[in-house]
Amino acid sequence: MSRLAVIGGGSWGTALALALAPKYDSVRLWVFEPYLADTINRARINDVFLPGFNLPATIEAGTRLDWAVDSADTVLGVMPSHHARSIYTQLAPHAAPDMLFVSATKGLEPDSLLRISEVIHDVLKPRFEARIGVLSGPTFAREIARGEPAAIVISSLDADLARTIQHRFAGPSFRLYTNSDPVGVEIGAALKNVIAIAAGVCAGLGLGANTMAALITRGLAEITRLAVAAGGSARTLAGLAGLGDLVLTCNGELSRNRTVGYQLGQGKSLSEILGGMRMVAEGVQTTSAAVALAARLGVEVPIATQMHAVLYQDKSPKAALRDLMERSLKEE
């Protein structure tokens, strides 16, 4: 019996469980909230994070990590980045060396600045050398849940693992490409959320297509610089996990990070915005981690730096935009 454990019952985790259910005999979805597990099992719907989609009987929900990963051949992590270490630490005693670990979390660990695949390796290494892949690309949860065609990347230093997950996860509306650069993929996945906040700010200020095109292009350059300095490949950032995800998140109205930026541009405070959100906007915390990582690696990240000032130093969006435009002139 093939069994998938999905660790994280937010919109993205639930959408992935729904999309991958036809590929597995059993999908166990770990959620934090007992009432949500009960609702999913009883009513066959995640009415909190992904309302409107009926879940098949092969998806079971529960709140115990030992139950979720029991006999699983693939463990798919979809928790917020700031909870990753804690959850994998609780999961570790129940993990087995033959399990494949796939991270679909898009962020960096706040204090250590580690990528999430590094966190998994760090937690599991005392017990065994985990086989780890990273799943990323231009995907909104609701569109995946609707079965709309999408393309995504599975990246790993282990080529056999990447190919195995490619075949296990791929379906008529879910196309996977393998990639051997998890550094570039994870940096791209994390930093695009920061640029998406900036894109939302521009939209909130009423700015048009010229500004957005410039922001996306220079944002991609910024992400690429950081990824390459961290050991990734510039080529990765020109693909689905870089440019593709960046374009989607900066322009799509389903983007939580863009929504945060839009409301900032409209004059709302960060505390007011986050107080009205049930789901995590990863870019808010990632902005601090990105600026810190860039400082560690000696990389210039002007957009992320200005977003950090807007988010955490009460800088006005208009002042941040002005300071970006008035930086010293450079060659592209």
- Is 192 one of the catalytic residues? yes
Q: Angle at the Cα of 115 (from 161 to 297), degrees rounded to 5?
A: 125
Can you read off the two tokens belonging to residue 39?
A: 């609702």
Contacts of 56 (CB under 8 A, 6+ apart): 18, 21, 44
Which CATH number applies to 183-325? 1.10.1040.10
* Distance of alpha carbon 196 from alpha carbon 68, whole angstroms: 33
For the cut 80, the answer to whether the pLDDT of residue 89 exceeds it is yes
Contacts of 137 (CB under 8 A, 6+ apart): 150, 151, 152, 153, 240, 241, 244, 245
User: Average pLDDT, stretch 211-225?
Assistant: 97
Report the candidate in 110, 211, 209, 100 with the shortest Cα–Cα distance to residue 156: 100
Mean pLDDT lowest for which of 67-81, 99-113, 213-227, 262-276? 262-276
Percentage with pLDDT > 90 across the chain = 94
User: Average pLDDT, stretch 70-95?
Assistant: 97
Q: How many CB atoms lie within 10 A of CB 312?
A: 13
Can you read off the two tokens belonging to residue 239?
A: 């693909």
Task: Provide the residue ranges of all domains of the chain, joining segments of one domain with +.
Answer: 3-180, 183-325
pLDDT of residue 25: 96
pLDDT of residue 279: 77
* Distance of alpha carbon 28 from alpha carbon 20, whole angstroms: 11
Contact between 69 and 105 under an 8 Å Cβ cutoff? The reply is no
Report the candidate in 272, 244, 242, 247 with the shortest Cα–Cα distance to residue 260: 272
pLDDT of residue 15: 98
pLDDT of residue 277: 83
* Distance of alpha carbon 213 from alpha carbon 293, whole angstroms: 26
Which CATH number applies to 3-180? 3.40.50.720
Can you read off the two tokens belonging to residue 312?
A: 């955490």
Measured in whole angstroms, how far is the alpha carbon of residue 270 from the centre of its chain? 20
Kindly compute the dihedral angle of the four CA atoms of residues 329, 288, 292, 137, in this order, to the nearest 10 degrees: -80
AA letter at 97: P
In angstroms, what CA-CA distances link 287 with 136, 198, 219, 223? 19, 11, 13, 12
Grouping H, G, I as helix, E, B as strand and the rest as coil, residue 121 is helix
**pLDDT band for position 22 (50/70/90)?**
very high
Percentage with pLDDT > 70 across the chain = 100
Report the candidate in 95, 55, 50 with the shortest Cα–Cα distance to residue 77: 95
Q: What is the pLDDT of residues 91-150, one digit of tens each?
A: 999 999 999 999 999 999 999 999 999 999 999 999 999 999 999 999 999 999 999 999
Measured in whole angstroms, how far is the alpha carbon of residue 116 from the centre of its chain? 10
pLDDT of residue 16: 98
Tabulate helix, strand, coil % of the chain (nearest 5).
55, 15, 35
Can you read off the two tokens belonging to residue 132?
A: 């780890």
Contact between 77 and 8 under an 8 Å Cβ cutoff? The reply is yes
Among the residues of 159-316, which ranges form H helices?
159-169, 182-204, 209-229, 234-237, 245-251, 256-265, 270-275, 282-297, 302-312
* Distance of alpha carbon 121 from alpha carbon 143, whole angstroms: 31
What global pTM score does this model have? Answer: 0.95
Catalytic annotation, pick one of 23, 125, 192, 315: 192
Contacts of 7 (CB under 8 A, 6+ apart): 13, 30, 65, 68, 69, 75, 76, 77, 78, 79, 87, 91
* Distance of alpha carbon 255 from alpha carbon 222, whole angstroms: 20
Q: What is the DSSP letter of 21?
A: G
State the first-to-last Cα distance of the chain, in angstroms, to the nearest integer.
Answer: 54
Q: Can 3-180 and 183-325 be said to share one CATH topology?
A: no
Grouping H, G, I as helix, E, B as strand and the rest as coil, residue 103 is strand
